[in-house]
């Protein structure tokens, strides 16, 4: 009798479980088909069409607005289908750029106020830039994580296994993910460590950058590695070239390739390690290349974003030393003095 | 008459420039201008501008070079860890004495004490003046095997030791471990590739220098502050007036909470299961062991280097006994 009752209760329990399971399954089906299909279509469209289109754009500000506006919508599809990590990583990268542009403005405001001796104004602007850099760092860290997830790459794995990158776009997305991770660390430091970004991204990026063809990508992989060697000399393999030489070489490769991201890294390295000579060189190289460079059309946006970084480095220098940003005709120079010695002049004696 | 008025004019023209003097400050940060400490020094410099001192900062990733440039007159002031600034002021350079400040509360009391105007005479030595002291985090022992959790277990173990840090070398020899001379740029690699068994560093190194690799599955971080590392700003005595120097120390002291936030963040990055907690009884033993060694390094006896300042050791002993009056050292005959 007791046994029968127990069996009965078990049957009822099993039936309930079955019904609950079916309900969950059906609810999933009824809620998702269109959403998940849309998600898949959108993710594929973004990868196949939108990303190549955006990469050819020459307006980083508009691209960053796209990142801020579209990322939450596109990435929300991870609720109904696989997370669109590769496009999500690029969109978040663009959104990070937007926040960085605001932080740059605040930093220049701080430097201007500092130059004219307005201490409260400088403090206010510096605090604002710290908050904005913290947000930038958070976005960039997300972008890094998504890029790693997109290619199922574990940056902490020992020994490291390079990811499978099937297309050129995959290679670039992965490479930019590494660069973005590095930038997140720099942004976090400039925020007063408000964002708390793990600092081991740097050595991880150094190792992972070796997975990418350096010459094909304008020296950017080796520029990343050289920057990390300067930051953490321990990570530099024996018999490897001097990091500054490597940065110089990468910068030249970048100009040849029409993709000057390595020059931007050289400028960042120069600022980080207090090398005004190298900063001057990087800015001048960028400006001088303008007349001759044939920008890699497929990735014009990367070159334009790099231009923004170089322009900001120059503006920072000018604002710190002269109180205003680089005048247009002085881009590539570090001083407002004009070279007028060689200009021929006429004798005015007859007219006086 | 003409000459007089010309002098007056010249003075008037020079005066505004003189009020905003530019002081070249060489700043050490392992990751240069984009480092956390460099950024903190930028905040300090901005505050000081409000007091009429205009600092011009230059980043250095090697503190030996930063101090070298300061010595060579290329900068008027230097911000570096007290491991390197000890020669300029032995009193403040003794803050990092082994085991002398076992808690951050004790460090806080000490730095508050030193920021008082009354402490100003102690901040000047040999033509140099200390313009501020900012915490940089306690040094902890990183081990590749959790069984190394007592000083006795260190015997025979290889320890990465900064080759210019005489007190650390003495301590490593004292516990009968083997000194493996290292510097800031290569100690982590030695620990991570297994060529040493232990290394000591602030928590910052766990993530940034990937010390978790050397720790592996079996190792950990001993939860006992071996020494309190501080960043000290040192200037040639004539660079700032006495009033400005005191204002500078106030500004640096006001940055204590900011620095501690940074340090706590770095210590939190070490997972709970990697910390090796040691029993209270053992801690008491270590405190006495460190104290005996500090006494030796104060007096330069028993082969110990003569590196610690007696006044600072005395002050830190007072602080420890104020926060823990029951400690045996507080009634010992040979107090510091």
User: What are the DSSP calls for B165-182, one per residue?
Assistant: -HHHHHHHHHTTPEEEEE
Radius of gyration of chain B (CA): 22
* Angle in degrees, CA B28, B34, B39, rounded to 5: 70
The residues of A whose Cβ lies within 8 A of any Cβ of B are 114, 117, 119, 122-123, 126, 158, 185-186, 189-190, 192-193, 196, 198-200, 202-203, 230-234, 268, 271-274
- Within 8 A by CB and 6+ apart from B334, the residues are B295
Distance CA B24, CA B70 (A): 9
Among A152-161, B80-89, B113-122, B136-145, whose mean pLDDT is lowest?
A152-161
Q: Locate B2 and state its tokens.
A: 């003409």
DSSP 8-class letter at A120 = H
Chain B's closest residue to A202, CA to CA, is: B208
B262: closest chain A residue by CA? A193
- Cα-based distances in Å from B292 to A303, B97, B106: 62, 12, 19
Size of interface A-B (CB pairs under 8 A): 81
Token output for B69: 């440039």
- The alpha carbon of residue B195 is apart from the nearest alpha carbon of chain A, in Å, by 14
Determine whether the interchain pair A189/B35 forms a contact, defined as Cβ–Cβ distance below 8 Å.
yes
Q: Give A166 to chain B, closest Cα distance, Å.
A: 31
Q: How far is B208 from chain A (nearest CA, A)?
A: 5
Separation CA A188–CA A202 (nearest Å): 13
pLDDT tens per residue, chain A (352 residues)? 445 444 455 445 555 545 544 444 444 444 578 998 999 999 999 999 999 999 999 999 999 999 999 999 999 999 999 999 999 999 999 999 999 999 999 999 999 999 999 999 999 999 999 999 999 999 999 999 999 999 999 998 888 999 999 999 999 999 999 999 999 999 999 999 999 999 999 999 999 999 999 999 999 999 999 999 998 888 888 889 999 999 999 999 999 999 999 999 999 999 999 999 999 999 999 999 999 999 999 999 999 999 999 999 999 999 999 999 999 999 999 999 877 667 888 889 888 8
Secondary structure (DSSP) of A188-242: HHHTTSSS---TTHHHHHHHHHTTS-TTTTTTHHHHHHHHHHHH-GGGSPTTPPP
Residue B210 and residue A203: Cβ atoms within 8 Å? yes
Quick check: B208 and A186 CB within 8 A?
no
Mutate one of B24, B28, B32 to test the A interface: name it (highest A CB count within 10 A): B32
Cβ B49–A126 below 8 Å, yes or no? no
Nearest to A231 by CA among B261, B226, B224, B33: B33
Q: Are A52 and A169 in contact (CB under 8 A)?
A: yes
Q: Are strands B220-236 and B275-276 parallel, antiparallel or unpaired?
A: parallel
Q: What is the mean pLDDT of residues B275-288?
A: 91
Q: Residue A272 and residue B185: Cβ atoms within 8 Å? A: no
Chain B environment of A203 (Cβ under 8 Å): 210
Instruction: Determine whether A256 is exposed, middle or buried from the number of CB atoms within 10 Å of its CB (0-12, 13-18, 19+).
Output: middle
Element spanning B228, H or E: strand B220-236
> What pLDDT, in 10s, does the model give residues B211-256?
999 999 999 999 999 999 999 999 999 999 999 999 999 999 999 9
Whose tokens are 């001759």? That residue is A292
User: How high is the pLDDT of residue A1?
Assistant: 44
Q: What is the Cα–Cα distance from A18 to B199, expressed in whole angstroms?
A: 58
SS3 A295: coil
Which of A348, A164, A182, A141 is CA-nearest to residue A264?
Answer: A182
Measured CA to CA, the distance from residue B228 to residue B60 in angstroms comes to 22
- In chain B, residues with a C-beta closer than 8 Å to the C-beta of A126 are 42-43, 46
CB contact under 8 A, B34 and A199: no
Sign of CA dihedral A125, A127, A129, A132: negative
How far B230 CA lies from chain A's nearest CA (Å)?
18
User: Token pair for residue A43?
Assistant: 């993710």
Flag if B50 and A119 touch (Cβ within 8 Å): yes
In chain A, whose CA is at the least distance from the CA of B261?
A193
CA of A201: which chain B residue's CA is closest?
A: B208
User: Which residue of B20, B39, B186 is in closest CB contact with A189?
Assistant: B39
CA-based nearest residue to B135, from B36, B32, B265, B229 = B229
The minimal CB distance from A272 to the residues B20, B32, B213 is found for B32
The verdict on a CB contact (< 8 Å) between B49 and A232 is no
| Nearest-CB residue to B58 (from A232, A268, A274) | A274
- Please give the Cα distance from A259 to A174 (Å, whole number): 16
Residue B202 has pLDDT above 70, yes or no: yes
SS3 at position B276: strand
Helix, strand, coil shares of chain A, percent, nearest 5, are: 75, 0, 25
* ipTM of this complex: 0.85
Among residues A270, A265, A272, the alpha carbon closest in space to that of A221 is found at A265
Tell me whether residues A232 and B59 touch, CB distance under 8 A: no
Q: CA dihedral defined by A151, A154, A159, A160, rounded to 10 degrees?
A: 40
B interface with A, Cβ–Cβ below 8 Å:
20, 30-36, 38-40, 42-43, 46-47, 49-50, 58-61, 185-186, 188-189, 204, 207-210, 212-213, 258, 261-262, 265, 269
> Which residues of B are less than 8 Å from A117 in CB distance?
20, 49
Q: Report the range of poorest mean pLDDT among A102-116, B4-18, B161-175.
A: B4-18
- Cβ of A231 within 8 Å of Cβ of B31? The answer is yes
Contact between residue B125 and residue B131 where contact means Cβ atoms under 8 Å apart: no
Q: Are A74 and A46 in contact (CB under 8 A)?
A: yes
Name the residue with higher pLDDT: B303 or B196.
Answer: B196
| pLDDT mean over B107-135 | 97
Helical (H) or strand (E) element with B143: strand B128-143
């Amino acid at each position: 009798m007791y046994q029968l009752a127990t069996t009965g209760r078990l049957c009822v329990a099993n039936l309930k479980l079955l019904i609950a399971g079916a309900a969950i399954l059906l609810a999933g089906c009824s809620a998702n088909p269109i959403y998940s299909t849309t998600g898949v279509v959108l993710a594929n469209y973004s990868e196949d069409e939108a990303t190549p289109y955006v990469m050819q754009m020459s307006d980083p500000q508009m691209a960053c607005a796209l990142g801020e506006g579209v990322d939450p919508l596109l990435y929300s599809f991870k609720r109904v289908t696989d997370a669109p990590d590769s496009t999500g990583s690029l969109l978040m990268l663009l959104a990070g750029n937007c926040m960085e542009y605001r932080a740059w403005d605040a930093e220049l405001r701080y430097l201007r106020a500092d130059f004219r001796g307005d201490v409260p104004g400088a403090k206010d602007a510096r605090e604002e830039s710290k908050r904005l850099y913290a947000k930038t760092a958070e976005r960039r860290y997300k972008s890094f994580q998504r890029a790693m997830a997109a290619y199922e790459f574990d940056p902490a794995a020992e020994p490291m296994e390079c990811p499978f990158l099937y297309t050129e776009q995959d290679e670039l997305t992965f490479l930019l993910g590494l660069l973005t991770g590095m930038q997140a660390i720099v942004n976090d430091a400039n925020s007063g460590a408000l964002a708390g970004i793990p600092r081991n991204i740097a050595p991880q990026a150094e190792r992972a950058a070796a997975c990418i063809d350096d010459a094909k990508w304008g020296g950017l992989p080796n520029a990343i590695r050289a920057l990390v060697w300067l930051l953490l000399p321990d990570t530099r393999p024996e018999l490897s070239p001097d990091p500054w030489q490597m940065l110089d070489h990468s910068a030249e490769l970048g100009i040849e390739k029409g993709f000057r991201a390595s020059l931007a890294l050289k400028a960042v390295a120069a600022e980080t390690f207090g090398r005004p000579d190298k900063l001057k060189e990087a800015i001048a190289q960028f400006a001088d290349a303008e007349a001759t460079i044939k920008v890699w059309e497929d990735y014009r946006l990367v070159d334009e974003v790099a231009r923004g970084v170089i322009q900001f480095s120059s503006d920072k220098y000018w604002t710190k030393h002269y109180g205003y940003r680089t005048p247009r005709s002085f881009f590539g120079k570090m001083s407002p003095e004009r070279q007028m010695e060689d200009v021929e002049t006429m004798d005015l004696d007859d007219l006086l | 008459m003409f000459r007089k008025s010309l002098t007056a004019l010249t003075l008037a023209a020079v005066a505004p420039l003189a009020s905003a003097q530019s002081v070249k400050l060489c700043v050490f940060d392992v990751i240069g201008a984009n480092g956390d400490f460099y950024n903190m020094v930028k905040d300090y410099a901005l505050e000081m501008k409000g007091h009429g001192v205009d600092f011009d900062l230059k980043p250095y990733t090697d503190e030996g070079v930063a101090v070298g440039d300061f010595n060579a007159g290329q900068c008027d002031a230097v911000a570096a860890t007290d491991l390197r600034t000890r020669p300029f002021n032995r009193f403040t350079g003794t803050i990092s004495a082994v085991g002398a400040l076992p808690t951050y509360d004790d460090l806080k009391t000490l730095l508050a004490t030193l920021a008082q105007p009354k402490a100003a005479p102690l901040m000047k030595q040999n033509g140099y003046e200390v313009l501020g002291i900012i915490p940089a985090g306690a040094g902890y022992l990183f081990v590749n095997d959790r069984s190394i959790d007592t000083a006795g277990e260190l015997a025979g173990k290889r320890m990465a030791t900064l080759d210019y840090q005489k007190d650390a070398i003495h301590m490593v020899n004292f516990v009968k471990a083997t000194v493996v001379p290292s510097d800031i740029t290569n100690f982590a690699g030695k620990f991570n590739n297994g060529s040493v068994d232990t290394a000591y560093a602030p928590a910052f190194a766990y993530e940034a220098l990937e010390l978790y690799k050397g720790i592996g599955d079996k190792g950990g971080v001993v939860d006992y502050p071996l020494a309190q590392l501080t960043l000290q700003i040192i200037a040639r005595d004539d660079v700032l007036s006495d009033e400005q120097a005191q204002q500078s120390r106030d500004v640096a002291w006001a940055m204590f909470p900011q620095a501690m936030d940074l340090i706590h963040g770095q210590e939190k990055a070490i997972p709970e299961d990697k910390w090796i907690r040691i029993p209270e009884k053992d801690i008491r033993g270590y405190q006495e062991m460190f104290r005996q060694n500090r006494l030796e390094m104060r007096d330069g006896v028993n082969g110990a280097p003569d590196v610690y300042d007696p006044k600072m050791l005395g002050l830190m002993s007072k602080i420890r006994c104020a926060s823990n009056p029951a400690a045996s050292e507080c009634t010992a005959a040979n107090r510091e």
